[in-house]
Amino acid sequence: MKPLLLHGHERAITQIKYNREGDLLFSSSKDNKPNVWYSLNGERLGTFNGHQGAVWCIDVDWTTTRFLSGAGDNTLKVWDCETGKEIGNISTNSSVRTCLFSYSGNMAVYTTDKALKHNCEIFIIDVRNVDESISHADPILRIPIKGSRVSSILWDNLDETIITGHENGDLIKWDLKSGKEISSTREHEHLINDMQWNKDGTMFVTASKDHTAKLFDAADLMLLKTYKTERPVNSAAISPIFEHVVVGGGQDAMDVTTTSARVGKFDSRFFHMVFEEEFGRVKGHFGPINSVAFHPDGKSYSSGGEDGYVRVHNFDSSYFEYNFDY
């Protein structure tokens, strides 16, 4: 089926996310204004206006009442989903690279970039009652990161641990009660751009600049599977209904001007989660894909690219009929 092309951003898409029910699709871009769309028909519901810099990360809580966005203007903002009004603003020392609500939605985590004299830091904040006071409230926990900066983050479904992916390829699991590192692993050789849970939050898939996406066990960070491509991988997602992994990426935006779309390999690629075999590709973007997400019902998926488009793809019936023999 023809994909829906969501053209509301003026610059490269940085992240896309569905809400829990999947009726809404949130997108952020370097053009400062996150958007929210009806995933069903691609109609734009609204924008979140207020950031002064590229928006790097977004999240929505499980009740779809509040929306988080972190940006290059050194702020993290909390928004009311229904009205699109800014209800909280936290100023930071450097760009906010990742942000997430906890499972309960009572807490949120965000991380800042390493910049000038400032170290990369992880902040856990209380977001039960957000108002203006949040801008000078102390965080619940603050973890300075001495080494490589955090480039992606995940929160477990018991509000107890977080997992961070780092610029050098490290994966670290943190205990939030003590603020200490529980375990870490180094399976990637390069920046981990994105991490996404499987449906039950026991495994997650990482997307790395080292041309691979990998599947890890959440409890002990054990490497389970590797999905190899020939280009940097920017994002990867796990189907909620099948053992499928979708991987998006492509040649770095920097090098793209000198190459054609064919060399860039800006396709979404589908892998079997267990066999690590590629079984399908979806073309369309004319720049690298920066973010992919499965609809929670598994019947469609979306991709956001450096070209500024979000493409919503509904799967054809052949996708549901396709089976691997084993």
Partner 1 sequence: MGQPMTVERVTTRAQLGQNLTVATQQSSPYLERAQKWFFSIKFISGALQNCDILFPRVLLYRSTLTRVKMAKKKVDDKNSLNGNNTKNESDLSSNDDEPNFSDPEGYVDNITDEELLADILKQKPKETDGVESVIVVDGVPQVGPDRIEKLKSVINKIFVKFGSIVNEYYPVTENGHTKGYIFLEYSSPVNAAEAVKLTNNFKLDKQHTFQVNLFTDFTKYEAIPEEWDPPKPQPYEGQGDVHHYLLEPDAYDQFAVVLGQGQSVQIWQNTQPDPSLLEERHAWTHAYIKWSPLGTYLATFHKQGIALWVGQKFSQYKRYAHANAQFIDFSPCEKYLVTYSPQGDPQHPQQKGIIIWDIRTGQEKRSFNPEGPSSWPIFRWSHDDKYFGRVGNDVLSIYETPSFGLLEKKSIKISGIRDFSWSPTDNIVAYWVAEDKDVPASVTLLEIPNRNEIRKKNLFNVADCKIHWQKSGDYLCVKVDRYSKVRKEKNETKYSGMYCNFEIFHMREKQIPVDSVESKEPIQAFAWEPVGSKFAVIHGESPNINVSFYEVRVGQAPILLKKFEKRACNHLFWSPGGQFIVLAGLGSNGGGSLEFVDTHEFLVMNTTDHFQMSDVEWDPTGRYVTTSVSYWKTKVDTGYWIWSFQGKILKRVNLEKFAQLLWRPRPATLLSEEKQKEIKKNLKKYYPQFESKDRMRQSKASKELIEKRAALMKEFNEYRSKRIKEYNENKQRRLQLRNNIDTDELDADPQNVEEEIVEFFIKEETTILD
Site of interaction with partner 1 (CB under 8 A): 20-22, 38, 40-41, 43, 62, 103-106, 157-159, 200-203, 217, 219, 224, 230, 262-263, 274-275, 296-297, 324-326
Q: Which is nearer to partner 1, 41 or 178 (CB)?
A: 41
Q: Which is nearer to partner 1, 56 or 294 (CB)?
A: 294
Nearest distance from residue 284's CB to partner 1, in Å?
18
Q: Which is nearer to partner 1, 182 or 274 (CB)?
A: 274
Q: Which pair of tokens denotes residue 257?
A: 């001007």
55 touches 95 (CB < 8 A): no
Give the span between the Cα atoms of 253 and 20, in whole angstroms.
31
Q: Which is nearer to partner 1, 5 or 263 (CB)?
A: 263
Pairing of strands 161-166, 170-175: antiparallel
Give the span between the Cα atoms of 276 and 96, in whole angstroms.
33
CA angle 37–32–86, rounded 5-degree value: 75
Q: Which pair of tokens denotes residue 265?
A: 């390999």
Give the span between the Cα atoms of 326 and 315, in whole angstroms.
23
For residue 150, CA distances in Å to 82, 122, 154, 236 come to 31, 8, 11, 17
Nearest distance from residue 263's CB to partner 1, in Å?
6
Nearest distance from residue 289's CB to partner 1, in Å?
18
Q: Which is nearer to partner 1, 181 or 277 (CB)?
A: 277
Nearest distance from residue 158's CB to partner 1, in Å?
6
Nearest distance from residue 262's CB to partner 1, in Å?
5
Pairing of strands 180-186, 170-175: antiparallel
Q: Which is nearer to partner 1, 38 or 319 (CB)?
A: 38
SS3 state at 162 = strand
What is the distance of C-alpha 306 from the center of its chain? 15
Give the span between the Cα atoms of 189 and 86, in whole angstroms.
39
205 touches 213 (CB < 8 A): yes
Nearest distance from residue 133's CB to partner 1, in Å?
24
Q: Which is nearer to partner 1, 105 or 284 (CB)?
A: 105
Q: Which is nearer to partner 1, 73 or 210 (CB)?
A: 210
Give the span between the Cα atoms of 42 and 4, in whole angstroms.
6
Nearest distance from residue 11's CB to partner 1, in Å?
26
Nearest distance from residue 110's CB to partner 1, in Å?
20
Nearest distance from residue 200's CB to partner 1, in Å?
5
SS3 state at 291 = strand
DSSP labels for 237-276? EE-SSSSEEEEEE-S-HHHHTTS-HHHHT--EEEEETTT-
Q: Which is nearer to partner 1, 114 or 231 (CB)?
A: 231
**Phi, psi dihedrals of residue 115, rounded to the nearest 5°:** -150, 140
Beta bridge partner(s), residue 69: 58, 77
